[in-house]
Amino acid sequence: MASDAQGPEEQPNERHRREGWRKWSVWILIALVLASVALPGLLNRDNSTAVDYSDLIEQAADGNINSIVVTNETGAISAEAIDGTTYSSKGPVELPELDLKLLRDRNIDVKFRTESSNPFLSMLPILLPFALIIGLFWWMQRRAQGQMSGIMSIGRSKARTYTTERPETVFDDVAGYSGVKQEITEVVDFLKEPERFAAVGARIPKGVLLVGPPGTGKTLIARAVAGEAGVPFLSVTGSDFMEMFVGVGASRVRDLFQTARKLGRAIIFIDEIDSIGRKRGAGLGGGHDEREQTLNQMLAEMDGFEPTEGIVMMAATNRPDILDPALLRPGRFDRQVVVPLPEFGERAEILKVHVLDKKVDESIDLDIIAKGTPGMSGADLANLVNEAALHAVRSDRESISQADFEAARDRVLMGQRRESVAMTDREKEVTAYHEGGHALIATLFAHADPVHKVTILPTGQALGVTMQLPEERHAYSQDYLEDRLAVLFGGRMAEDTVFGVTSTGAANDLVQGTELAKKMVVEWGMSDRVGPMAWGSNNQVFLGEGLVNGRDYSDETARVIDEEIERILRTQEARARHALVEHRGALDRVAAALLDKETISGDDVAMLVPAPSGAEEDPNSANTTSNSPSLDQSSSD
């Protein structure tokens, strides 16, 4: 057994040694060629004294020279003196007869030699073309082998494996989400002590599906589970299974599970599983496309391992409604853990984590920042802290202040200030009354979200913005939605009340209001004529279902729905108009303050507007909807 376990490890090592030898053999060959060229010259170097040819002849005439060696090809002369000194000189290729006669008369031993040429240098012009041709063929063969190895390994999983030393993230590194941690602690306990569960016959869920909006930290929580359990963590995204070749996705799924089984206890995490886990048979491509085959293989693999093996699958998605029912049935992803947007206390903890590596003022109150950022995810809060740091740098401050966070929040929620836009006096006045109408209605109506800031400075895509900060809500009452519609119509009605005409500045308000009123009628049952029926279709057009089924109500019902949507919108428009006419003086004061200061706070608006009558909470407002709408809390011109 020991030899079998060592075999797979020895083979890669042997392959690496062969590849390393091939790589170094090229450099060794180059070194040998250079040595064959340079060594002869280095070995033939001598320490003789260089003299002129005439001086050498004079030394010979004086009888100081013992022997002379002349090179025929170059005329180089090497002479040895009687006292042992050696001289080198350069004379003519053929020595003159008089000089030869002088040397013989002085009994000097004269020798002539012919140097042998370097055989490698002589053959180099012949060998070089052959070497280039051989090298070209070798390079083409290596490249072809690389391409073939890439094709042969295309079915391997692209999962990144984090060993027990790598996933250092633990639950303490995840700020907030105590309920989520408590729910998945059972998975950690099973991975740590599977014997305790097996002793009583308990079956741990094979798959845990993390469901939540984008940026809530689903991947971070999955890594924290691996870090707490101390087991390897295989991370892969849903798109990694898809390629242009048929069968690649299913092959990668098989390789992923085989790798997990070799690791023993491990966690397989698939991010954005909805990219391969959509409903089968609903797409326009039929039931034989590559994505559905990949999903079929994943379902088969999840049925192929026992819960006691120690392998737990975790996946994350923000679209659980489009997942295939077979993926969510008991025995597969049979436990769903909701990772919601953080609450006030959780946002404060997340902000504390993100400011650890930032230089902030001691006077900063993170609770105030957390209270002013409802609806922000963990990723949004990280971006908020980074924007505050950038604003501090632009302001030449050495640390982040509370004002930097305020500016960063305004930029994230409202957009970047457009300095290049120059409005006319008429446009400024219309914009001031438009935004003043939004702010006035939001202040007067008891169920509307409080006003945080109003500006007529061009921001983002709008000429002006009325920013509201909603309180923590998990469901919305009909009173709140109606007041929200009235706030949206406040800008349009302010223009009509003051100037007698409306402008295109209310285009975005009309779009938001129409969508909200439609949901009130067809999804949330807030119309007496339509009744307690939900006509909103959950069929997704991109899945192909909406193209086949169409709407599920008659033409008469469609007419009633349109009439009810129009009734709701006109009723709230009339409410906004009545409030603006009744408090025309307050509207003028808010608009004048905006024209004077360009930006005012919600407290400034409250000082300019009289206290609303009937501000007490309506007892009937406790009726809430089960699905919270997605509401934009800023009205723009």
* Pairing of the two strands 233-237 and 207-211: unpaired
Tokens 């004529």 belong to which residue? 529
**Token representation of residue 483:** 């007041």
* Short-list 600, 599, 616, CA closest to 608: 600
Query: Could you please report the per-residue DSSP string of 115-150?
Result: PPPPHHHHHHHHHHHHHHHHHHHHHHHHHHHHHHHH
Q: Which residues pair with 88 in a beta bridge?
A: 50, 78
Tokens of 471: 């309180």
Rg (CA), the chain: 42
* 616 catalytically annotated: no
Q: Three-state DSSP class for 324?
A: coil
Q: In the Cβ-directed half-sphere of 529, how many Cα atoms lie within 13 Å?
A: 14
The tokens describing 223, both together, are 């890594």
Query: Distance (Å, rounded) from C-alpha 157 to C-alpha 301?
Result: 14
User: Looking at 387, 435, 564, 573, which residue is catalytic?
Assistant: 435
Helix (H, G, I), strand (E, B) or coil at 243: coil
Which amino acid is located at 430 in the chain? V
Concatenated DSSP letters for 548-577? HH--SS-HHHHHHHHHHHHHHHHHHHHHHH
Label residue 586 exposed, middle or buried (CB < 10 Å: 0-12, 13-18, 19+). buried
Distance between CA 471 and CA 450 in Å, rounded?
8
Decide if 123 contacts 86 (C-beta within 8 A).
no
Give 223's contacts (C-beta < 8 A, 6+ positions apart). 162, 167, 169, 233, 235, 269
Residue 631 region by backbone torsions, left for phi larger than 0, else alpha for psi between -120 and 50, else beta: beta
Q: Catalytic site residues?
A: 435
